[in-house]
Amino acid sequence: MERKAVYAGSFDPVTNGHLNIIERAAKMYDELTVAIVVNPRKSGFFTVEERAEIMREVTSHIPNVKVDKFSGLLADYVNEKGFVAYVRGLRATTDFENELQMAQMNARLFTRDTETVFLMTDPQYSFISSSLIKEVASLGGSVDGLVPEYVASRIAEKVK
Ligand code: COA
């Protein structure tokens, strides 16, 4: 049986921290779906379509990665698709409390034996968040090395 996992988030935009988690998780499972959450209450910097297109571009070197979108409850999406694992990245101890809460709630909602699996973020990316990248880049600061070059160029294009 194929072991399929999911890594979910807003990815507005995807950073090198996310990409590092994606590359490592893709080695652990037969297939990794990167699922972009569609939140109708949150208007993003990039549209969900743009985020999916950007994600496809920056993960094109990883053959077992698929890009998808979902709305509503993550657990419903996971149950429907039959993922064996839900991958999360932990950047710092401050992430832990919130992640524990979500993992425990999801454990109640998962109808199969889906495990939430935590990967420690590479320390060189532990301070990054998508909001910080957008803020620095849109004010003209350098985000070199923190996002793929393609992402930096898409942000620059959008800000113009
Ligand atoms: N490297 C760099 N940045 C990272 C990172 C990493 N490894 N991991 C997380 N981040 C950043 C994200 O970019 C994001 O930054 P931002 O807040 O500036 O946009 C921030 O850390 C938070 O990331 P995350 O916790 O993954 O939030 P998210 O909004 O990307 O995704 C969902 C959250 C989609 C997983 C969650 O809201 C969800 O499950 N929603 C569906 C509704 C639901 O089921 N709710 C009940 C849950 S129990």
pLDDT per position as a tens digit, 93-128: 888 999 999 999 999 999 999 999 999 999 999 999
**pLDDT attached to residue 159:** 86
Pocket test for ligand 1, best of 7, 12, 51, 74 (most atoms within 8 A of CB): 74
4-159: what CATH class?
A: alpha beta
Highest mean pLDDT among 39-43, 65-69, 151-155: 65-69
Q: Is the CB of 128 under 6 A from ligand 1?
A: yes
> Does the reported pTM lie above 0.85?
yes
At residue 101, the pLDDT reads 97
Alpha carbon nearest to ligand 1 atom 36, residue: 9
- Asked whether the predicted pLDDT for residue 85 surpasses 90, the reply is yes
Q: Report the pLDDT averaged over residues 76-85.
A: 98
pLDDT at 43 over 90: no
Q: Can you give the pLDDT at residue 111? A: 97
State the average pLDDT over residues 13-26: 98
Mean pLDDT of 36-65: 94
Residue of 146, 1, 150, 7 lying closest to 67 (CA atoms): 7
Query: How much is the average pLDDT of 64-71?
Result: 98
Per the prediction, the chain carries an average pLDDT of 95
Q: Alpha-carbon distance 148 to 125, whole Å?
A: 13
Residue 92: its pLDDT value, please? 86
- Compute the distance from residue 123 Cα to the ligand 1 centre, in Å: 18
141 Cα: distance to centroid of ligand 1 (angstroms): 24
At residue 28, what is the residue type? M
- Report residue 40's pLDDT band, with 50, 70 and 90 as the boundaries: confident
Q: Is the CB of 90 under 6 A from ligand 1?
A: no
- If you average pLDDT over residues 60-66, what whole number do you get? 98
